[in-house]
Amino acid sequence: MNDKKNLNKITQNLDTLTARFNDFAGNKTIRIILFILAFLVLVYIPITGSRFTQEIMTNMFFYIIVCLGLNIIVGFAGLLHLGYAAFIAVGAYVTGILSAVYGVSFWVTLPLSVLAAILAGLAIGAPTLRLRGDYLAIVTLGFGEIVRITVRNIDITGGAIGLIGIERPVFFGITLNQISHFYYMFFILAILAIFVSYRLHDSRMGRAWQYIREDEDAASAMGINVVTARLYAFIIGSAFGALAGSFYAAKMTAISPESFMFLHSVMFLLAVVLGGMGKIPGVVLGAVIVTLFPELSRDIGQYRVIIFAIVLLLLMLYRPQGIWPDKKLISTKK
C-alpha cells in the first residue's frame, strides 16, 4: 500500500514538474529562444564533437524516426505491433540488395523500399486488422521471426553473414561517407519525421484514429471504416520504418540479421510507451532516453533490459500515460 502511495506521489510530482515546464513555455519569446538555442547546439555538434558523440546522436536520431513511425501504429491507432524491426529490415534489405548486388543508386531504392513495406504491411494487415488487437500482436511477432529467419537463410540477402558492400549515397556530387554527413542526414530526417507526424495527427485520418482509439464502436457508428483506417496507420507506419531502414543500410554499408531481432522490436515499443503513446514529444523523449541512458552508465550494461522492463511494468501499472503528460489530462488517473 505504501508503495502505491509513493508511486502516486512520484507521478504527481512529475505532473507538477512538467506543468511548470509548460507554464515556462507559455512565454512565446522564451520558447523561440530555447528552440533556436537547442537547434544551434545540435547543428554544431559534428564540428567539435568526437566521432563517438556523433555516432550516438545519429543513432538517437534514427531511433526517433523509427519510434515516430511505430507511434503511428501503436500510439495513434492503438494497435500493438511486436515486429517493427522486421519492417525496418525490409527497407534495409531492399536497399541493400538493390545497391550491393545490382548496383542501383541509393535514391532509386527508396521508393522501392517503401513499396515493399506497403506490400508487406498489406499482406499482414489486411487479414488481421479485422480481428481483435491481440491477434495482430502475435502475427506481427511471428512476421518478425519469419523475416529474420528468411533473411538469414537465403543467399541473396547474404544469409547469416549478412550483406556487405552497400553503396554510399551520392548527394549532388558529394559521396556521403563521413559520420558527420550521416549525422546531418538523420537529423534532417528526424525533423521531417516529427513534422510529418504532426501533420498526420492533425489530419482527418489522424482524428479518425484518435476517435477509434477512444471508442471503436462509436467511431464505427459515425461512419468511420475502422479496418481501413487501421490499415492506413499500419501501412504508413511500415513505410516510415522501411525508409529508416534504407538510410540505416546506407550508413552501415553492411547489414545482418542480428540487427533486426525481437528484442529490437520490444525496445522500440518500450520507447514509444515510455514517453507517452501517441504524444509526439513524449515519443521523442522516450527514444532519446532509450538510446542515451545506456551510454551514461557503463556498469548498468547487463541490467539494461531488465531495468527497462521493470520501468515499463511500473509505467503500465501506475502511469500508463507515460512520462510526458498530455496537457489536457488533469491527473485523476489511477
Q: What is the distance between the alpha carbons of residues 119 and 128, in angstroms, rounded to a whole number?
A: 14
- Residue 262 CB, shortest distance to another protein, in Å, is 8
Closer by beta carbon to another protein, 39 or else 111: 39
Q: Is the dihedral of CA 251, 257, 260, 263 positive or negative?
A: negative
Residue 209 CB, nearest approach to another protein (Å)? 13
Phi/psi for 175 (5° steps) reads: -80, 130
Contact 72, 208 (CB under 8 A): no
Q: Does residue 8 bind another protein (CB under 8 A)?
A: no
Q: Which whole-number Å values give the CA distances from 142 to 28, 84, 261, 262, in the listed order? A: 48, 11, 11, 10
Using the minimum distance from each CB to another protein, give the nearer residue, 33 or 108.
Answer: 33
Specify the stretch interacting with another protein by CB under 8 A; choose among 93-101, 114-122, 228-236, 316-324: 316-324
Is residue 162 within 8 A of residue 254, CB to CB? The reply is: yes
Torsion of CA 212, 217, 221, 222, to 10 degrees: -20
Question: Per-residue string for binding with another protein, 181-210, x by CB under 8 A?
Answer: -------------xx--x------------
Give bridge partners of residue 163 from the DSSP assignment. Answer: 255
Residues 216-275 that bind another protein (CB under 8 A): 217, 248, 252-259, 262-263, 266, 269, 273
Phi and psi, residue 255, nearest 5°: -125, 150
Q: Which three cell numbers stand for residue 208?
A: 479518425
Q: Which is nearer to another protein, 205 or 288 (CB)?
A: 288
Binding to another protein by residue 320, rule CB under 8 A? yes
Closest separation in Å from C-beta 105 to another protein = 22
For 100, residues 6+ apart whose C-beta sits below 8 A from its C-beta are 163, 164, 165, 166, 167
Q: DSSP letter at 75?
A: I
Question: Which cell is 116 given?
Answer: 515493399
Pick the stretch among 93-101, 114-122, 139-147, 234-242 that binds another protein (CB under 8 A): 139-147
Q: What's the rounded Cα separation, in Å, for the pair 189 and 185?
A: 6
Nearer to another protein by Cβ, of 94 and 286: the residue is 286
Q: Is 301 in the site for another protein (CB under 8 A)?
A: yes
Q: Which of 149, 170, 222, 329 binds another protein (CB under 8 A)?
A: 149
Among 6, 13, 17, 37, binds another protein (CB under 8 A): 37
Minimum CB–partner distance for residue 170 and another protein (Å): 19
**Residues 41 to 60 in contact with another protein, rule: CB under 8 A:** 41-42, 45, 49-57, 59-60
| Residue 290 lies near another protein (rule: CB under 8 A) | no
The answer to the question of residue 107 lying near another protein (CB under 8 A) is: no
Q: Work out how close the CB of 269 gets to another protein at its nearest, in angstroms, rounded to a whole number.
A: 7
